[in-house]
């Protein structure tokens, strides 16, 4: 089974609607990355959460880390077609040299 489970796996929303993507870990989380990917391209760094309870925002995207629940959520407010893509959460369980484990991704489509 996946160490990082993302839900939902795909999402279709009307432009202007809010949405939430969740990432749940089967292991203790010490930090979590969120990336966005356009199909067949590289990953664009969105934000990184390093402490329990931490919340970060960038433009209309907000991410929170709940260490007790071993979960992170990514919330998009007033979605736009430019938000479409694949959202991936990643976590480093190594505790040492970087080795990031990623979730399978959430595919987001925004309908104008």
Partner 1 sequence: KAGVTQTPRYLIKTRGQQVTLSCSPISGHRSVSWYQQTPGQGLQFLFEYFSETQRNKGNFPGRFSGRQFSNSRSEMNVSTLELGDSALYLCASSLAGLFNEKLFFGSGTQLSVL
Strands 61-66, 43-49: parallel, antiparallel or unpaired by DSSP? unpaired
Find the shortest distance in angstroms from Cβ 78 to partner 1: 27
- Tokens at residue 107, please? 């595919």
For partner 1, which is the closer residue by CB, 4 or 76?
4
- Tokens at residue 31, please? 């930090």
For partner 1, which is the closer residue by CB, 96 or 112?
96
The β-bridge partners of 108 are 11, 85
For partner 1, which is the closer residue by CB, 29 or 84?
29
**Distance (Å, whole) CA 49 – CA 64:** 7
Binding residues (CB under 8 A) for partner 1: these are 2, 30-31, 33, 35, 40-45, 48, 50, 88, 90, 92, 94-105
Q: How far from chain centre, in Å, is Cα 28?
A: 17
Find the shortest distance in angstroms from Cβ 104 to partner 1: 4
Find the shortest distance in angstroms from Cβ 39 to partner 1: 10
């Amino acid at each position: 089974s996946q160490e990082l489970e993302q839900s939902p796996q795909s999402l279709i929303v009307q432009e202007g609607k809010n949405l939430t993507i969740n990432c749940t870990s089967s292991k203790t989380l010490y930090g979590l990355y969120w990336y966005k990917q356009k199909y067949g391209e590289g990953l664009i760094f969105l934000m990184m959460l390093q402490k329990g309870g931490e919340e970060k925002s960038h433009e209309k995207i907000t991410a929170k880390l709940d260490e007790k629940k071993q979960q992170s959520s990514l919330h998009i407010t007033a979605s736009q077609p430019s938000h479409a893509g694949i959202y991936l959460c990643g976590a480093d369980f190594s505790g040492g040299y970087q080795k990031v484990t990623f979730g399978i991704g959430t595919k987001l489509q925004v309908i104008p």
